[in-house]
Amino acid sequence: MALQTQAAPAYAPAGTPGWFWDDAACEFVPVSGNNPADLTRGIGRLTALGIGAAAATPSRALVNQLLPPGILFVAGANGPETNTYTSRVSITPTALLRAFNQASFGGSFVANTIPAGALNLVGRTLRFRATGTLGSTGTPNLTVDLALGAAGANVVATTGVLAMATATTPAPWTLDCTATVQTAGASGAIISEGIFQYSTTSSVIVLPWTMGNSTRGTALTPVDLTAAQLFTINATCSASSASNRIIVNTLTIEILY
């Protein structure tokens, strides 16, 4: 990395003497004296729009070395349509970390993976919102859950087993769930609550099903919040039929705090 002094910095917060130019990352780096200070609490890098490889990629600065509130992940396409299944399967669409570039965050991004340490803060709150369509013969039970970790090891929120009404594809469904970190660290704890609802063939909205941890009103623990966490949306159906189907059409994950 080569740092070069900028005579006219694009922006300098109060108390920051100036900026250096990182020509490898195409970003301005806050400095204190002649030393880069991008690890200073509350100070982040700025992408120079219109310069180099980062010309079309604006970045948001870290706040106290944490991701700031805002949209974290957005799915740009549908997830896999699933039917004729009885085991628990992931129906997660590919979701990419938005509003950051890799250089400003300090590491490579992996689809559907929350970066290491991003959840490691008491009070850190995420909102998961998803929509899709489903079909049901009216005989199966359905379970939908949100999970962190490889193979969905840590179930953050679940509908529990739902007795389904008949629903002709495409019947819309929505999921809205909020999860909050209660204990940080390698043995962290997360509590959640939300709703899952869908329409029947007659377009009557089924009463919202409450989503929470497996034992509602208690936190899921232990979860290693210092590590990167893969997130998945999963479905389990009790009866195998081509008509018992589900797909995720939209997905956003937002940091509320």
Per-residue pLDDT of 206-224, as tens digits, reads 778 888 887 888 899 999 9
For every residue of 164-220, DSSP letters joined together read PPPEEEEEEEEEEEEEEEEE-STTEEEEEEEEEEEB-TT-PBPPPEEEE-SSTTS-E
How many residues are listed for the chain in this entry? 257
Q: Is the pLDDT of residue 106 over 60?
A: no
Residue 244, token pair as written in the block: 């018992």
The pLDDT-based confidence of 236 (bands split at 50, 70, 90) is: very high
Task: Report the distance separating Cα 238 and Cα 257, nearest Å.
Answer: 37
Instruction: Give me the residue label for tokens 């497996």.
Output: 214
Residue 200 belongs to some domain of the structure? yes
pLDDT for the residue 115:
83
Q: Which of 29, 54, 79 is the last residue of a domain?
A: 54
Give per-residue pLDDT as tens, 135-152: 999 889 999 999 999 989
Question: For the chain, what is the mean pLDDT?
Answer: 79
Q: How confident is the model at residue 202 (pLDDT cuts 50, 70, 90)?
A: confident
Does residue 63 belong to any structural domain of this protein? no
Q: Which residues, at least 6 apart from 101, have a Cβ–Cβ distance to it below 8 Å?
A: 47, 54, 57, 58, 59
In-domain check, residue 65: no
- Joined tokens for residue 116: 């290491």
Whether residues 31 and 90 share a domain: the answer is no
Q: 45 and 79 share a domain?
A: no
Greater pLDDT, 206 or 7: 206
Domain that holds residue 27: 3-54
Same domain, 95 and 31: no
- Percent above pLDDT 90 for the chain: 49
82 and 22 together in one domain: no
Looking at the structure, tell me whether residues 18 and 74 fall in a common domain.
no
Percent of the chain with pLDDT over 70: 70
Whether 230 has a pLDDT exceeding 80, the answer reads yes
Could you tell me which of 118, 107, 84, 79 has the C-alpha nearest to residue 95? 79
Give domain status of residue 61, yes or no.
no
Q: Are residues 98 and 157 in the same domain?
A: yes
User: Would you state the pLDDT for residue 79?
Assistant: 94
Query: Do 108 and 28 belong to one domain?
Result: no
pLDDT-derived band of residue 28, with 50, 70 and 90 as boundaries? low
Q: 92 in a domain, yes or no?
A: yes
Residue 59 lies in a domain: no
Confidence (pTM): 0.74
Check whether 36 has a pLDDT greater than 90. Answer: no
Residues 118 and 237 in one domain: yes
CA-nearest of 92, 89, 135, 90 to 252 is 92
Q: Are strands 35-36 and 46-47 parallel, antiparallel or unpaired?
A: unpaired
Mean pLDDT is lowest, of 24-33, 134-143, 151-160, 235-244, for: 24-33
In this prediction, residue 34 carries a pLDDT of 58
**Same-domain status, 147 and 31:** no
Residue at token pair 């909102």: 127
Task: Give how many domains the chain has, as a whole number.
Answer: 2
214 and 242 part of one domain? yes
202 domain-assigned: yes
pLDDT band at 129 (very low <50, low <70, confident <90, very high): very high
The reply to whether 118 and 29 lie within a common domain is: no
State whether 78 and 48 are in the same domain. no
